[in-house]
């Protein structure tokens, strides 16, 4: 019913939408590339999203797959192959017709090892070449060397290139085309006159004539310009600014609920780390990790650091990820008594306000985080006070990001680390590099030759099983078990899941902020400006 109402709302809004005008919002940096296959940074991702045409799109609101340039698709050979039926009568922005050859060209370019495409990495499940078969101009079968988990979803990131256009990647199939780029100043996108989508009245989308992406690093300036009416969107805004905006202009502040971003702590469990043996034994203890988790008041962190725009985190998957989130997981409640009881099981004892282990070592460790991140510094200070209540002395050490990465990934010279995690990809297969014990980003003990613990071996097995399974429900069942093990063993202590916060001017119509990026302009082709804003643009 809710979905029906949404569809009805969009259709009604479409009929009322005004044509023309320029939407303006900010990029935080210059795009590093305009080649959609080489996108790594957020600014380039924005340009790719607004200009690139894809075969399948993840609807950011419903998180369901929707046909775009492919009208239908079918996965076969146990997830190794996918066949697309393509939309007919579609052209690139320069008028070159779109055919299955363009899809084949894009896939071969994407999978070319010499290109080092970050998007292509998601498809590389085994060594070998991708094979394409084009039985008709509107039909293509792509065969990968090995099964690829969540294969169809990955095509949301693949912008199709033209194999024949002389304009190369400048010829696009998305709603906009890049018309001007002034380094350090702006990227201007103009409507794609050949865009294939139409509105309910049959008129060719997008509604907007252009999108101006101003390059602006300073978030304070961005907010001031937004409040002056010079910008119409802020795609993501930090909680402190959001709180100020809510007081000043409540209608413009939009909280879409939990996002995919979370903050977490982990302890260094690497046996070769240059730490005293007694500390390593603390960090390897499930009771110790769960006790620390129970001693942290997450609700206070959400209320104070995030101004109420965050939720205590439950596990490795955010509730924003509707399909993969394990709703059966129980959160670790704030309970200092339970924390002390768990510690007592391992022989720890609280005497005169100091917690000591069974050998008499006072429990003291450092928590590293990156400097300049106010929210993390505040969280660390709050955790410091929470742990002091159970007799633990926590030293906060803020390091520049490079030194921090060097410590956690190379020298392993740290005790605990506080960092954030963002999963842009909803599918758990994108997290294989975190969960497999042999993986480089298995932060608490990376690059294991064989799993150090039985529960890590079990996670390895379940992750491989979910990647090999084709049926989504079966994959979900495997990954639910992974989430349960992670919640129980607590190698990562998940602290908070941040809300997806944005600022939207009433001058923009049809905006429906979503929990996953791009939060505000995911339906860019249907965004329109209100008549007052159009008149202002004209002036």
Partner 1 sequence: MKRARNIAAGVLILIFAASLLAGFVAPAPYAAQFRDLVSAPASRRFWLGTDELGRDRWSRLLYGTRISLLLAPAAAMLATFLAVVIGGVAGYAGGWCDRVIRRVIDLFLSLPWLFLFLIVRSLLPLDATPLTSVIVTFTIMGLVGWAPAARIIRAGAQSLRNSDLVLHARACGCHGLRLVLVHIAPGLKPVIFAQFWIAIPTFILGEASLGLIGLGVAEPLPSWGNLLRELANPQSVMSNPWILAPLAVLVIVVSCFQLLLPEREFVS
Residues that bind partner 1 (CB under 8 A): 220, 240, 244, 300, 303-304, 364, 366, 368, 370-372, 377-378, 380-382, 384-385, 395-400, 403, 406, 413-415
Query: CB of 300: closest distance to partner 1 in angstroms?
Result: 5
Query: CB of 266: closest distance to partner 1 in angstroms?
Result: 15
Cα–Cα distances (Å) from 446 to 438, 455, 465, in that order, read 6, 15, 21
User: Considering beta carbons, is residue 403 or 438 the nearer one to partner 1?
Assistant: 403
Query: CB of 374: closest distance to partner 1 in angstroms?
Result: 9
* CA quadruple 217, 219, 222, 227: dihedral, nearest 10: 180
User: Considering beta carbons, is residue 220 or 359 the nearer one to partner 1?
Assistant: 220
Distance CA 510, CA 528 (A): 7
User: Considering beta carbons, is residue 384 or 438 the nearer one to partner 1?
Assistant: 384
Query: CB of 407: closest distance to partner 1 in angstroms?
Result: 8
User: Considering beta carbons, is residue 115 or 396 the nearer one to partner 1?
Assistant: 396
User: Considering beta carbons, is residue 76 or 385 the nearer one to partner 1?
Assistant: 385
Query: CB of 144: closest distance to partner 1 in angstroms?
Result: 43
User: Considering beta carbons, is residue 136 or 389 the nearer one to partner 1?
Assistant: 389
Q: Output the six-digit token pair for 332.
A: 């670790």
Query: CB of 313: closest distance to partner 1 in angstroms?
Result: 19
User: Considering beta carbons, is residue 94 or 249 the nearer one to partner 1?
Assistant: 249
Q: Are 231 and 249 in contact (CB under 8 A)?
A: no
Burial class (CB in 10 A: 0-12, 13-18, 19+), 86: buried
3-state secondary structure of 79: helix
Query: CB of 368: closest distance to partner 1 in angstroms?
Result: 7
Per DSSP, helices labelled H in 196-328 are 219-228, 239-248, 277-284, 286-295, 298-304
- 71 phi, psi to nearest 5 deg: -85, -25
Residue by residue, DSSP assigns 302-368 as HHHTSTT-EEE--SSS-TTSTTT--TTPPP----HHHHHHHHHHTT-EEETTEEE-TT--B-EEEEE
User: Considering beta carbons, is residue 300 or 484 the nearer one to partner 1?
Assistant: 300
Query: CB of 422: closest distance to partner 1 in angstroms?
Result: 22
| Three-class SS of 157-182 | HCCCCCCCCCCHHHCCCCCEEEEEEE
Distance CA 355, CA 369 (A): 24
């Amino acid at each position: 019913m809710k979905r029906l109402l949404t569809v009805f709302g969009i259709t009604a809004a479409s009929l009322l939408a005004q044509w023309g005008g320029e939407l303006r919002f900010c990029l935080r940096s210059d795009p590093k590339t305009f080649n959609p296959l080489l996108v790594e940074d957020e600014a380039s991702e924005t340009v790719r999203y607004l200009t690139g045409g894809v075969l399948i799109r993840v609807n950011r609101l419903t998180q369901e797959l929707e046909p775009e340039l492919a009208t239908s698709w079918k996965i076969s050979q146990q997830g190794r192959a996918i066949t697309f039926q393509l939309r007919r009568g579609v052209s690139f922005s320069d008028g070159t017709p779109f055919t299955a050859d363009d899809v084949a060209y894009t896939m071969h370019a994407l999978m070319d090892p010499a290109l080092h495409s970050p998007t292509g990495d998601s498809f590389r499940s085994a060594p070998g070449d991708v094979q394409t078969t084009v039985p008709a101009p509107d039909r293509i079968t792509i065969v990968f060397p090995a099964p690829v988990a969540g294969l169809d979803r990955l095509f949301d990131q693949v912008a199709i290139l033209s194999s024949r256009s002389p304009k190369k990647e400048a010829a696009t199939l998305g709603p906009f085309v890049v018309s001007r780029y002034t380094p350090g100043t702006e990227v201007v996108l103009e409507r794609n006159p050949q865009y294939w989508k139409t509105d309910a009245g049959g008129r060719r989308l997008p509604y907007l004539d252009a999108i101006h992406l101003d390059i602006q690093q300073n978030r304070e300036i961005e907010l001031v310009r937004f409040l002056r009416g010079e910008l119409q969107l802020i795609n993501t805004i930090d909680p402190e600014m959001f709180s100020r905006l809510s007081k000043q202009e409540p209608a413009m502040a939009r909280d879409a609920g939990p996002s995919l971003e979370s903050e977490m702590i982990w302890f260094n469990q690497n046996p070769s780390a240059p730490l005293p043996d007694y500390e390593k034994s603390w960090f390897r203890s499930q009771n110790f990790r769960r006790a620390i988790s129970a001693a942290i008041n997450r609700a206070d962190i959400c209320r104070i650091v995030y101004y109420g725009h965050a939720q205590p985190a439950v596990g490795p998957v955010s509730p924003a990820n509707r399909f993969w989130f394990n709703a059966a997981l129980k959160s670790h409640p704030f309970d200092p008594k339970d924390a002390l009881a768990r510690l007592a099981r391992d022989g720890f004892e609280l005497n005169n306000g100091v917690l000591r282990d069974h050998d008499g070592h006072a429990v003291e460790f450092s928590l590293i985080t990156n400097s300049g991140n106010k929210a993390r510094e505040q969280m660390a200070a709050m955790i410091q006070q929470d742990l002091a209540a159970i007799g633990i002395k926590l030293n906060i050490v803020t390091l520049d990001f490079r030194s921090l990465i060097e410590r956690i990934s190379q020298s392993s010279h740290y005790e605990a680390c506080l960092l954030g995690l963002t999963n842009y990809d909803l599918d758990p297969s994108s997290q294989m590099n975190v969960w497999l014990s042999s993986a480089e980003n298995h932060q608490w003990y990376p690059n294991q030759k064989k799993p150090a613990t039985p529960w890590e071996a079990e996670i390895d097995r379940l992750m491989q099983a979910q990647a090999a399974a084709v049926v989504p429900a079966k994959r979900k069942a495997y990954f639910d078990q992974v989430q349960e093990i992670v919640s129980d063993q607590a190698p990562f202590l998940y602290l908070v899941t941040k809300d997806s916060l944005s600022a939207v001017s009433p001058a923009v119509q049809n905006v429906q902020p979503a929990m996953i990026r791009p939060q505000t302009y995911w339906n860019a082709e249907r965004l329109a400006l209100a008549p007052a804003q159009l008149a202002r643009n004209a002036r």
